[in-house]
Amino acid sequence: MRDRLPEAVLALRWDRAVLARPLGPVAAVVAGLAAVVLVVGAVLVAGHDYASTLDERITLAAPRGQVLFAALVAVGDVMSAAVLAVVLVAVCLAAGRPRHALLALLAPAATGVVTTVLKPLVGRTLDGADSYPSGHTGFATSLALVTGLLLASAPAVRATAARIAVVVVVTLLGAAPMAVALVAQHVHYPTDTVGGFCTALVVVLVVALLVDRVVPAVTARARPGVPPGG
């Protein structure tokens, strides 16, 4: 079994890119803009232990529904997040998209690491706990973004505008409920969720760009004479 594993891995369709042309440049621009928003937000709230005026206004308008929102927040906990990520990896493999599976494996975990590292650096707190950027929102966004990229890679979605629309809609549908739940549960300030959203955009899109760049070179070395796909 161990000897057959490399052959089985190489037999997968590694030529199918995560970011089909011309989505690569679009992803790079979006990641850059998200990084700017993330950094500006961090500078504005660094060291604060209170809500901004914008946070207060949004929080007052937040809907109520404690049981539902508590359940949504629980989905972003470590164990639930790990299970959902593994399920998404399996779905990507079943769809014949190993690069997406690799992205689903790496990006949510990397997003979690980045949000965890940034929180104490920014030093914004809510009830004594570091809060910016939101790790739960980052996870939800990363999972939704990978799902959107997977759906956008379907053969039926050919136009670039349609692919972008699919990615945007699916990402927002995945991220927004978690962000609303966190604010309604007073777990995060609204701007924390924006920071988590932007963190996920940066991490997932950068990892996607790296996967599309590195995988063809690795598979080409593993299979001499076979031109790398991409």
Per-residue pLDDT of 69-128, as tens digits, reads 888 888 888 888 899 999 999 999 999 999 999 999 999 999 999 999 999 999 999 999
Q: Measured between alpha carbons, how far is 52 from 183 in angstroms, rounded to an integer?
A: 13
Is residue 17 situated within a structural domain?
no
Give me the mean pLDDT over the 8-35 stretch. 85
pLDDT at 9: 65
DSSP state of 97: -
Is residue 65 situated within a structural domain?
yes
Q: Measured between alpha carbons, how far is 77 from 79 in angstroms, rounded to an integer?
A: 6
Q: Measured between alpha carbons, how far is 230 from 18 in angstroms, rounded to an integer?
A: 9
Q: Measured between alpha carbons, how far is 20 from 212 in angstroms, rounded to an integer?
A: 9
Could you tell me the residue range of the domain that residue 159 belongs to? 22-212
Tell me if 167 sits within 8 A of 33, measured CB to CB.
no
Is residue 220 situated within a structural domain?
no
Q: Measured between alpha carbons, how far is 104 from 119 in angstroms, rounded to an integer?
A: 23
Is residue 230 situated within a structural domain?
no
Helix (H) or strand (E) holding 105: helix 98-122
Q: What residues pair up with 129 in beta bridges, in sequence order?
A: 126
Tell me if 85 sits within 8 A of 127, measured CB to CB.
no
pLDDT at 1: 43
Is residue 15 situated within a structural domain?
no
Does pLDDT of 137 surpass 90? yes
> How does residue 216 score in pLDDT terms, banded at 50, 70 and 90?
confident
Contacts of range 113-119, beta carbons closer than 8 Å, 24 or more positions apart: 114/138, 114/199, 114/202, 114/203, 115/196, 115/199, 118/42, 118/195, 118/199
Kindly report the pTM of this predicted structure. Answer: 0.90
> How does residue 61 score in pLDDT terms, banded at 50, 70 and 90?
confident
For residue 129, the SS3 value is strand
How many domains does the chain contain in total? 1
Question: For the ranges 30-34, 73-77, 224-228, which has the lowest average pLDDT?
Answer: 224-228
Q: What residues pair up with 130 in beta bridges, in sequence order?
A: 125
pLDDT at 8: 56
Is residue 160 situated within a structural domain?
yes
> How does residue 68 score in pLDDT terms, banded at 50, 70 and 90?
confident
Is residue 6 situated within a structural domain?
no
Is residue 13 situated within a structural domain?
no
